[in-house]
């Protein structure tokens, strides 16, 4: 790659913060990759201290591939992810220290969330509107900073303030066909905090987070200065791409990582197309410029389009935003291409039929292997074009047909059969995921319908500590769930356990303290285990949590092998209890494996966080400190492991005496009532759980299909087309499995699940498909094609009727600019003179911004 002078400045400048203004096709991704390589090769920091955040998974993968080409193995340690992926990583890592989170937390997509909010949604409100309502309230809770221990009070205050400051925005969500549902709106103002609290409690009960929680959860965590400092100190160089699409809350989260680090913010003012979602780049860049004094660099050379396309697009931009373009650009940008290319064709068609036929015929005249994109303003237009193209295809021999696909319909991971299969994987990763359990039961388990599921989830069964997911696990049918715990207390074989560590990554961080106490049935200490480990690495900022310095551990810490072996023996064949104990078990297991010490041998494991959430689901929160003050125990926990286990032990004894023992008979009656219906699926899930630690995800998928009856189900229902989609899933997983560089088993499965959850409208396969995509301009952002057809350029369509009514044409102009910068070789724009009903229609006013030079734009009626 030839590096121009502006690109070289970005690569070389490693001391100052940078504000990089780079429009489409200016070589931004390559430049950022070379900069990362330069940082590593110059020894400015270690690769793992570099964080690159991008807007899409596709952009993140491109960046990873390019950096790996430049620096080889070192690139694998660079953190390159989307903003949502980064937030999910933070939530997972902080699950140990914040009991409002779980280390086995999973992301629930928009379809899964419907199941959880349905009981609270007003009857006549659209799902999409209610989901938006929940998201708005959650985001404003964060914006307003209402972070008390009472979630319901926080939401109450948030909604009261929204009623004063944002009532019009909320009212829109309660409108159907321009009619305001005033009764439902009134109920929201008075009871909305209850709806959203119950929804959040439902999410917590299944160990889930929604997309909004990813951002709000990290924002809440970063209010803690110790957590904020810990994450800030992990990085030295941070770059954020597509900053113009960053919402104000996202900016606040990122900003908390920047102090003391080297920051590069990159984007294009004129591609801001998400103002409706809260992005405000002008205000954010003003704040960045004020607070971080960046060096401003502009890329002037375009490497994507030929000269005709580039000149047309830039002149159009100048006509739409003359003042702003003059303020941003000190000199005229130019295309690097030596080719002029054909003029842009603006074609007026009589109606949608002639428009679609014109586009179809033009596409058929292009080479079959050409990169082609059909762009539209909205999905309705995409659907109509798809139907018309399909009819034209039918008139041609199969060999001459052109395959099309609508990306909005192609949300691969949202297909029913794919979601059903992924439900098995989600349940493996998160055994509390009742939404996934229901999907599996309803589709593939005979004899269990909605009525029986409702009965299992009834208050009667919840009051004895049972959940639907319990019945998906064999142990519940082999012994009463708490029998081992009660018997262990009687025998003095219960060990309450906690660890402190150098961080929260169970695969990378090291244990520095193991504290455990064997207790009797009254919670009294029988035997104590407390040992310190010299981890062989600095504790870093984790010292802020546990208080143990490197010097202290050097003096009092023992060899890891000696302490781990001793605790393995201390805990052998005993009942292990902890508060949010999954983290402690996971990091211990990894440490034992690291030193080839085998696996821990516990008789059973119980989590007091899970126990109290089962029996006391409506408490304000379930943190150890809150529970210790709420219930009659006489010990206050600290972040010292020994203090925490004393409090945990006393809470355990309280729950056993007050909740577990008194409900034993009723619990057994309920279990026996459903045993016959669940035994087969529970046995199959048990086998799958054993396999998930050693088998690759593709092997698990093959087992699900062939041994768990899924293939037989689709054969018996005559739905073999769905089997083909599942085979496609197998191929995708095989490809992802090869790309993933980590360990086998759970880590790979978690990687695939996260990718699936965060790829809702951006299918991985889009660029690998031979089909021609029909996509909205929003979906096309970040993509490029040799040939682009922009259809439906009519006033009231593009710009949209809504934007015209609300006076929001500027964002539509920027969206038009995004559309005309997607092609590399040719652009064809079409509009119609008649509507679907035969009424006269006008071409888009945006076409008047295009240059009148016939060498650039050819206009045809």
C-alpha dist (Å) from residue 502 to 91, 98, 747: 17, 16, 20
Helix, strand, or coil (residue 535)? coil
DSSP 438-453: HHHHHHH-TT--HHHH
Own/partner long-range contacts of 176-181 (Cβ < 8 Å, ≥24 apart): 176/124, 176/126, 181/122, 181/124, 181/125
Tell me phi and psi for residue 17, to 5 degrees: -70, 155
**Helix (DSSP H) and strand (DSSP E) numbers for the chain:** 38, 24
d(CA 246, CA 284): 9
Residue 696 token pair: 């690759």
* 27 annotated binding-site participant: yes
The DSSP letter of residue 474 is: T
Length of the chain: 861
* 29 annotated binding-site participant: yes
d(CA 808, CA 610): 49
Closest CA to 844 of 304, 341, 381, 362: 381
The DSSP letter of residue 849 is: G
d(CA 814, CA 62): 25
How many other C-beta atoms lie within 10 A of the C-beta of residue 780?
22
Three-state SS string over 164-191 comes to HHCHHHHHHHCEECCEECHHHHHHHHHH
* 636 annotated binding-site participant: no
| Residue ranges with strand state E in 574-654 | 575-578, 604-607
Tell me the helix, strand and coil percentages in the chain, rounded to 5. Answer: 55, 15, 30
DSSP 210-240: -HHHHHHHHHHHTTSHHHHHHHHTT-SEEEE
d(CA 703, CA 705): 5
d(CA 792, CA 799): 10
DSSP 268-302: -GGG---GGGTB-HHHHHHHHHHHH-PEEEE--EE
Which residues, other chains included, contact 662 with Cβ-Cβ below 8 Å and sequence gap of 6+?
Answer: none
Helix, strand, or coil (residue 857)? strand
The DSSP letter of residue 342 is: P
End-to-end, the C-alpha distance of the chain in Å comes to 43
* 156 annotated binding-site participant: no
DSSP 11-53: HH--SS-EEEE--TTSSHHHHHHHHHHHHHHTTSS-GGGEEEE
* 24 annotated binding-site participant: yes
Residue with tokens 């499965």: 749
Asked if residue 626 lies in contact with residue 619, where contact means CB atoms within 8 angstroms, the answer is yes
Tell me phi and psi for residue 520, to 5 degrees: -95, -175
Q: Pseudo-torsion of CA 801, 807, 810, 811, nearest 10°?
A: -60
Residue 236 token pair: 């030295």
How many other C-beta atoms lie within 10 A of the C-beta of residue 279?
22
* 28 annotated binding-site participant: yes
Exposure letters 75-106 (e unless 16+ CB within 10 A, then b):
beebbbbbbbbbbbbbbbbbbbbbbbbbbbbb
Asked if residue 684 lies in contact with residue 437, where contact means CB atoms within 8 angstroms, the answer is no
d(CA 686, CA 431): 11
d(CA 181, CA 125): 9
d(CA 428, CA 422): 10
Q: Which residues are annotated as a binding site for ATP?
A: 22-29
Q: Which residues are annotated as a binding site?
A: 22-29
């Amino acid at each position: 790659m030839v590096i121009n002078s502006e690109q070289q400045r970005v690569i070389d400048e490693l001391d100052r913060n940078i504000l990089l203004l780079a429009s489409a096709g200016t070589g931004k991704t390559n430049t950022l990759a070379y900069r990362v390589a330069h940082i590593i090769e110059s020894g400015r920091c270690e690769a793992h201290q570099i964080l690159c955040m991008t807007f899409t998974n596709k952009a993140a993968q491109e960046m990873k591939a390019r950096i790996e080409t430049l620096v080889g193995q070192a690139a694998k340690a660079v953190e390159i992810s989307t903003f949502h992926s980064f937030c999910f990583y933070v939530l997972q890592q902080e699950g140990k220290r914040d009991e409002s989170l779980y280390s086995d937390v999973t992301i629930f997509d928009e379809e899964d969330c419907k199941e959880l909010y349905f009981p609270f949604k007003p009857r006549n409100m659209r799902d999409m509107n209610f989901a938006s309502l929940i998201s708005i309230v959650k985001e404003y809770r964060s914006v307003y900073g209402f972070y008390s221990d009472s979630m319901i009070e926080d939401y109450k205050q948030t909604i009261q303030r929204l009623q004063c400051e944002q009532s019009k925005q909320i009212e829109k969500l309660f409108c159907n066909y321009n009619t305001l549902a005033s009764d439902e709106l009134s109920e929201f103002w008075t009871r909305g905090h209850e709806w959203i609290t119950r929804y959040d409690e439902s999410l917590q009960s299944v160990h889930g987070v929604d997309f909004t929680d990813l951002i709000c959860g990290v924002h809440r965590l970063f209010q803690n200065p110790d957590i904020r400092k810990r994450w800030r100190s992990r990085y030295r160089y941070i770059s954020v791409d597509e900053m113009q699409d960053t919402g104000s809350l996202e900016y606040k989260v990122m900003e908390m990582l920047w102090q003391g680090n080297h920051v590069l913010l990159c984007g294009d003012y004129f591609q801001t197309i998400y103002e409706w979602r809260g992005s405000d780049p002008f205000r954010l860049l003003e704040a960045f410029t004020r607070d971080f004094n960046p060096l401003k660099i502009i890329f002037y050379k375009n490497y994507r389009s030929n000269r005709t396309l580039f000149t047309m697009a830039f002149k159009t931009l100048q006509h739409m935003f003359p003042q702003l373009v003059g303020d941003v650009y000190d000199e005229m940008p130019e295309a690097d291409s030596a080719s002029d290319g054909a003029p842009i064709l603006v074609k007026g068609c009589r109606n949608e039929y002639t428009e679609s036929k014109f586009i179809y015929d033009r596409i058929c005249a292009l080479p079959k292997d050409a990169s082609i994109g059909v762009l539209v303003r909205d999905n309705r237009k995409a659907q109509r074009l798809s139907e018309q193209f399909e009819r034209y295809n039918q008139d041609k021999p199969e060999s001459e047909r052109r395959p099309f696909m609508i990306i909005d319909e192609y949300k691969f991971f949202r297909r029913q059969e794919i979601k059903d299969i992924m439900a098995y994987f989600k349940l493996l990763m998160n055994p509390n995921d009742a939404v996934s359990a229901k999907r599996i039961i309803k589709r593939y388990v005979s004899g269990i319908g909605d009525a029986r599921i409702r009965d299992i989830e009834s208050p009667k069964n919840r009051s004895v500590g049972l959940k639907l997911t319990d019945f998906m696990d064999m142990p519940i049918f082999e012994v009463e769930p708490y029998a081992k715990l009660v018997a262990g207390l009687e025998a003095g074989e219960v060990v309450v356990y906690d660890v402190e560590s150098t961080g929260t990554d169970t695969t990378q961080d090291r244990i520095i303290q193991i504290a455990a106490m064997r207790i009797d049935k009254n919670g009294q200490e029988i035997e104590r285990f407390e040992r310190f480990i010299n981890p062989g690495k600095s504790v870093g900022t984790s010292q802020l949590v546990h208080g143990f310095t490197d010097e202290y551990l050097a003096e009092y810490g023992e060899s890891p092998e000696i302490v781990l072996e001793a605790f393995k023996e201390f805990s052998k064949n005993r009942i292990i209890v902890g508060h949010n104990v999954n983290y402690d078990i996971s990091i211990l297991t990894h440490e034992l494996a690291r030193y080839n010490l085998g696996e821990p041998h516990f008789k059973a494991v119980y989590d007091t966080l899970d126990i109290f959430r089962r029996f006391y689901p409506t408490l304000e929160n379930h943190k150890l400190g809150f529970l210790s003050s709420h219930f009659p125990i006489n010990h206050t926990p600290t972040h010292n492991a020994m203090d925490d286990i004393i409090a945990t032990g006393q809470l355990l004894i309280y729950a056993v005496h007050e909740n577990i023992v008194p409900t034993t008979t009723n619990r057994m009656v309920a279990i026996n009532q459903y045993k016959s219906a669940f035994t087969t699926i529970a046995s199959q899930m048990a086998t799958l759980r054993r396999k998930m630690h050693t088998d690759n995800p593709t092997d698990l998928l093959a087992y699900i299909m062939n041994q768990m009856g899924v293939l037989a189900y689709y054969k018996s229902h005559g739905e073999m087309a769905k089997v083909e989609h599942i085979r496609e899933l197998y191929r995708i997983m095989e490809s992802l499995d090869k790309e993933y560089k980590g360990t086998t088993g759970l880590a790979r499965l978690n990687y695939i699940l996260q990718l699936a959850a965060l790829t809702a409208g951006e299918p991985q396969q889009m660029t690998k498909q031979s089909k021609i995509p029909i996509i909205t301009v929003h979906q096309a952002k970040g993509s490029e094609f040799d040939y682009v057809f922009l259809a439906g350029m009519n006033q009231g369509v593009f710009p949209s009727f809504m934007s015209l009514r609300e006076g929001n044409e500027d964002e539509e102009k920027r969206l038009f600019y995004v559309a005309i910068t997607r092609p590399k070789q040719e652009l064809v724009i079409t509009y119609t003179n008649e509507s679907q009903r035969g009424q006269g229609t006008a071409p888009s006013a945006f076409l008047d911004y295009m240059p009148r030079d016939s060498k650039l734009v050819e206009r045809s009626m």
